[in-house]
Structure 1
């Protein structure tokens, strides 16, 4: 488990984070150069930010479209019955569906929000009928097809 953050990130930390957000594959030397730090200083700061849990992991960003997933759908999901064992069973089954790219347990009108990727609407219908609607405890679902994405950003730093 990551240690508690002992002090808020300073301006040098934030400069490193901005560089890594732009390109997570940067070396400590490259990120440090962008932040005005030496390689050893950048490396120490990056390791500290990882140990404190500020940097959770570095990822490769793949193009869904270039991989053939042309449709993104956001779904609101209500469970028919609630209770700890039902929620756990539902979550286990939902996390096994590879097309569910994001599963969020939320408060409000719905119990869960999903982001689903599909090759096209026919593929989404197959995923919906054969995988999502057969999840244990599933109740109501509402689907919203993404037309365009105007902004996708990390937290402001």
Structure 2
């Protein structure tokens, strides 16, 4: 585990708000030089604290108006490897995340679809044909709030 000082935390907060900011812009906001800020960001990346940068897409504007969380209980864990299930699920374009979880279900999938009939098609033709699928529970996302996370 890497030691983080308050300046490191401020840099991380700035990047969480907008990962496209330059080291110079972040440095100016924090009273640091661009090279000093860049060195800190580079150190955080090399230590694995910054695992990557990503873009958040507006799924509604792209035509994906429905997000569904599926809880999936595998019926035949002994006969189907978890890797086989994960590989097959990750090949489905509508599946955004695959989480192996502890509890009532073995997996939690986040799926996007154009509408409910599109989701039904994905469920029937793709999800229910995955290796080892047993019980499935769907929860439709009504709204989502972005939380700042532990660095808040």
Give the TM bin, normalised by the shorter chain.
Answer: over 0.9
| 1:16–1:34 Cα contact (<8 Å) kept | no
Q: Distance in 2 between matches of 1:147 and 1:102?
A: 18
- Normalising by structure 1, what TM-score? 0.92
CA drift at 1:85: 5.1
Structure 1 51/123 Cα, relative in aligned 2: closer, same or farther at 3 Å?
same
1:131 is aligned to: 126
Q: Please, which of 76, 84, 93 is the counterpart of residue 89 of structure 1? A: 84
Q: Distance in 2 between matches of 1:14 and 1:83?
A: 45
Is there any run of 5+ residues in structure 1 with no aligned partner, and where? none
Q: Distance in 1 between matches of 2:92 and 2:24?
A: 39
Count of aligned pairs between the two proteins: 151
Q: Please, which of 6, 19, 23 is the counterpart of residue 18 of structure 2? A: 23
- Normalising by structure 2, what TM-score? 0.94
Moved over 6 A (4+): none
| 1:19–1:34 Cα contact (<8 Å) kept | no
The two structures, once aligned, show a CA RMSD in angstroms of 1.3
Q: Distance in 2 between matches of 1:37 and 1:90?
A: 48
Q: Please, which of 18, 22, 31 is the counterpart of residue 36 of structure 1? A: 31
1:91-134 deviations in whole A, cap 9, x for unaligned?
A: 11001111111110000000000111000000000000000000
